[in-house]
Amino acid sequence: MKIISIINEKGGTGKTTSTREITGVLKKNKKCLLIDCDYQANLTGSFGIEFDKTIYNVMIGENINNCILEIEKNVDIIPGIINSRDLERDLEWESEKETILKNKLEELEKKYDYILIDCRPDMRLLEKNALVCSDVVLTPIEPHNYSLDGFDILEELLKTINPILKNDIKHIGFFSRVAIGNAPKMVIENSDNVYENILDNYIRHSVKLQECSLVGKFIVDYAPRTNGALDYKNLVKELQNKNFI
């Protein structure tokens, strides 16, 4: 079982979309669990789910199996909560609260091939929990001026808190929402010489990706021949070929 957190401290870079669409590719032959750690619960919303158990219930000690909902064959989800303050407040006096999720996910070791955690652009309790249990941290980056700064900051953070992370944790970036034009191309080309941990494949801007989250479908099913579907397939292929996931 590999645990993958999708993190960037910047909003709107394609975290939620990538969490969903990478799962869309993996589900063909792997069993996946999605965890929605964003308090806006966009990932949960994109599947049109209503379920009274969420990651909140997992964190306050309920049986994790009761908080998992099946979306379709090979895809389950632990939905997200809207109210952030409750969780932070309710766990205020809990000790070792950064490892709650890690301990809970150990129970699922035999059940899933991949767990993908969609995080908020903010380093708080749920994100810390996600980092601590991750084998891989994936960071979608929009290719424009300064956008790599966020990637560097996260890289530094991972080094700083390394003692509490898994030994062989990997931080991998990829460009997403890549628009047509010279500027994005230049950023991507420049990064090529500097970063070993940014993938060669990237995700182009695709309106179909926006559409499919509105109808609750994965791009590989909704519009399998579009750039969006092709790009996520190639991205997953590269991640697997390089043994990152």
Ligand X SMILES: Nc1ncnc2c1ncn2[C@@H]1O[C@H](COP(=O)(O)OP(=O)(O)O)[C@@H](O)[C@H]1O
Q: Contact at 8 Å (CB) between 199 and 243?
A: no
Q: Which is nearer to Mg ion, 1 or 71 (by Cβ)?
A: 71
Q: Using CB under 5 A, which residues numbered 23 to 82 contact Mg ion?
A: 38, 42
Under rule CB under 6 A, residue 122 binds ligand X: no
Under rule CB under 6 A, residue 15 binds ligand X: yes
In sequence order, what are the beta bridge partners of 172?
138
Under rule CB under 6 A, residue 210 binds ligand X: yes
Give exposure, 96-106, as e/b (b: 16+ Cβ within 10 Å). ebbebbbebbe
Q: Which is nearer to ligand X, 38 or 104 (by Cβ)?
A: 38
In whole angstroms, the minimum distance from the beta carbon of 96 to ligand X comes to 29
Angstrom distance (rounded) from CA 174 to CA 54:
29
65: which residues sit within 8 A by CB, 6+ positions away? 107
In sequence order, what are the beta bridge partners of 6?
118, 138
Under rule CB under 5 A, residue 15 binds Mg ion: yes
Under rule CB under 6 A, residue 12 binds ligand X: yes
Under rule CB under 6 A, residue 134 binds ligand X: no
In whole angstroms, the minimum distance from the beta carbon of 80 to ligand X comes to 12
In sequence order, what are the beta bridge partners of 171?
137
Q: Which stretch binds ligand X (CB under 6 A): 15-23, 84-92, 130-138, 188-196?
A: 15-23
**Pattern 18-57, ligand X, x by CB under 6 A:** ------------------------x---------------
Count residues near ligand X (CB under 6 A): 16
Helix, coil or strand: residue 51: coil
Under rule CB under 6 A, residue 209 binds ligand X: yes
- Token pair 């079982």 is found at 1
What residue 154 binds from ligand X, Mg ion, none (CB within 5 to 8 A, per partner kind)? none
Q: Which is nearer to ligand X, 27 or 177 (by Cβ)?
A: 177
The DSSP line for 157-178 is: HHHHTGGGS-TT-EEEEEE-SB
Under rule CB under 5 A, residue 16 binds Mg ion: yes
Order of all β-strands in the sheet with 32-36: 69-72, 75-78, 32-36, 114-118, 2-6, 136-141, 170-175
What residue 213 binds from ligand X, Mg ion, none (CB within 5 to 8 A, per partner kind)? ligand X
Pick the binder of ligand X from 23, 139, 206, 226 (CB under 6 A). 206
Q: Which residues bind Mg ion (CB under 5 A)?
A: 15-16, 38, 42
Q: Which residues bind ligand X (CB under 6 A)?
A: 11-17, 42, 176-177, 203, 205-206, 209-210, 213
